[in-house]
Amino acid sequence: MKKFTTLVLLTSSLVALPVSNCLAAWQELGANERMSVYVDVDTLKADGDKAQILSMLDFKKPGQNPKSKETVNSIVGINEYNCSNVTYRPIEYKEFAGNKGNGKVVSDNKTPDSQYEAVVNDSWTAGVFNVACRKK
């Protein structure tokens, strides 16, 4: 469960949400027994070795916000990827009570000073990294 909580916290670490999630053009990247991962390629912004993109994690089994203990069924946010170093950091994310970024906003988190972390193979961050950095 600790691993799942860590995953929820890391997942929630995406960038400033410039676009309403209901208007996003979501494309599914893949899924496993825990979640489906989506990106909106129209939100991709690249600057040198860095790229930002809006992504969403849609949980198959609800998670829980560690502070409020409220149910979380999806997370939408923006991560910044350093394409040359294969690292990422969350900029902003929202946790939602409903699936696919719907329902009550459980938390709205801005994390512009977060530290870069390695992108782990076969993780949701690796899938989003491959989309965000594919042209680099």
Instruction: For the chain, give the mean pLDDT.
Output: 86
Give residue for tokens 């972390």.
117
How does pLDDT run across 1-38, given as a tens digit for each residue?
A: 444 333 333 343 333 344 345 567 999 999 999 999 99
Q: Which CATH number fits domain 2-132: 2.40.128.710, 3.40.50.1220, 3.30.530.20, 3.40.50.300?
A: 2.40.128.710
At residue 24, the pLDDT reads: 77
Report the C-alpha gap between 64 and 11 in whole angstroms.
Answer: 13
pLDDT at 61 over 80: yes
At residue 17, the pLDDT reads: 45
Report the C-alpha gap between 5 and 7 in whole angstroms.
Answer: 5
pLDDT at 107 over 60: yes
Give residue for tokens 């991709």.
44
The pLDDT of 104-128, averaged and rounded, is 96
Report the C-alpha gap between 87 and 78 in whole angstroms.
Answer: 14
The token pair at 31 is 């899924």
Domain boundaries, the chain: 2-132
Exposed/middle/buried for 32, CB within 10 Å: 0-12, 13-18, 19+? exposed
At residue 135, the pLDDT reads: 63
> Which ranges constitute the DSSP H helices of the chain?
2-11, 124-132
How does pLDDT run across 67-90, given as a tens digit for each residue?
A: 999 999 999 999 999 999 999 999
Higher-confidence position of 12 and 134: 134
The token pair at 133 is 């950095």
Count other C-beta atoms under 10 Å from residue 54's C-beta: 29
pLDDT at 117 over 90: yes
At residue 86, the pLDDT reads: 97
At residue 6, the pLDDT reads: 36
